Amino acid sequence: VNHRLPYLFLGDVGHEQSPDLAWEGHAGFIIAPEAAQASLVCMYPKDGSSMQLRCYGRHDASGPDSCVPGCVKPKKRSWCPHGTSGIAPHRNCATAPTGLRHMMQLQEEYTMAFLNDSSHRDCARGCCVYPRCQLYNELVLNSTALLEHLPGAVEAVYFVDAGYASNERRQASGETMARAWHRSLIAHLQRSNATDPCRPLLKVGFGEGEPFRLVSPYRVSTL
């Protein structure tokens, strides 16, 4: 299991509404492989700062001066040459969908080297928060293509276990957000008469053994 899991990033709009996203990196969705593959536009073996690559007006995504949101932009970032080795060159270029396996290998190599540095050992337990522990990869998905695969695109909702969160406040906020998302998702599936209206709520940890644990969508309180 790749324990650097996908989480929702709201972009500039989300940050304007809530400058301090306490839950960020501590809650998210498990995306179905077929939906991810169909909507994948580009990727990076670590933080790619994709939100800074915007395209305005009409643009040709296949031309020599192409601009692909989050991926490439003239004079700023281009596509990575096929077979580019080492993570350093990939900081300034985007990997095409056909390079998924290679990108994952680069990420794992970078992660091993990063954690072998004694000054980064704390990141092994509380993965992965920007800017201290950038052990995650970044995938840019086409939202239009992803929507075409709903509701099957979302297989589960998760939040990070308290024992592996960066701090107690982030964990609590992540759990609150995940439970709210899960309630909304189930309600939507039921209203739309989906064939399978059930989706699990999971808690994830980064230690030994099974990383995912099924949890009740209902909070249990004791008197």
pLDDT of residue 201: 94
Q: How confident is the model at residue 90 (pLDDT cuts 50, 70, 90)?
A: low
Alpha helices (H) in 42-196, listed in sequence order:
100-116, 143-147, 168-191
pLDDT of residue 202: 92
Nearest Cα residue to 129 out of 31, 72, 206, 77:
206
Tell me how far apart the alpha carbons of residues 39 and 42 are, in angstroms, rounded to a whole number.
Answer: 9
pLDDT of residue 46: 84
Report percent pLDDT > 90 for the chain: 10
Any idea which of 16-20, 22-26, 64-68, 201-205 has the lowest mean pLDDT?
16-20
Any idea which of 43-57, 123-137, 178-192, 195-209 has the lowest mean pLDDT?
123-137
* pTM for the full predicted model: 0.77
Q: What is the mean pLDDT of the chain?
A: 77
Alpha helices (H) in the chain, listed in sequence order:
11-17, 33-39, 100-116, 143-147, 168-191
pLDDT of residue 129: 65
pLDDT of residue 9: 40
pLDDT of residue 55: 84
Q: For 13-31, what is the mean pLDDT?
A: 60
pLDDT of residue 87: 62
For the chain, the farthest-separated pair of C-alpha atoms sits apart, in whole angstroms, at 66
Q: How confident is the model at residue 89 (pLDDT cuts 50, 70, 90)?
A: low
Q: For 159-174, what is the mean pLDDT?
A: 83
pLDDT of residue 14: 37
Any idea which of 34-43, 69-78, 199-208 has the lowest mean pLDDT?
199-208
Tell me how far apart the alpha carbons of residues 3 and 205 are, in angstroms, rounded to a whole number.
Answer: 8
Give pLDDT tens digits for 100-154: 888 888 888 888 888 888 877 777 666 566 667 777 888 999 988 988 888 788 8
Which residue did the predictor score with more confidence, 3 or 135?
135
Is residue 13's pLDDT more than 50?
no
Q: How confident is the model at residue 8 (pLDDT cuts 50, 70, 90)?
A: very low
Which residue did the predictor score with more confidence, 198 or 62?
198
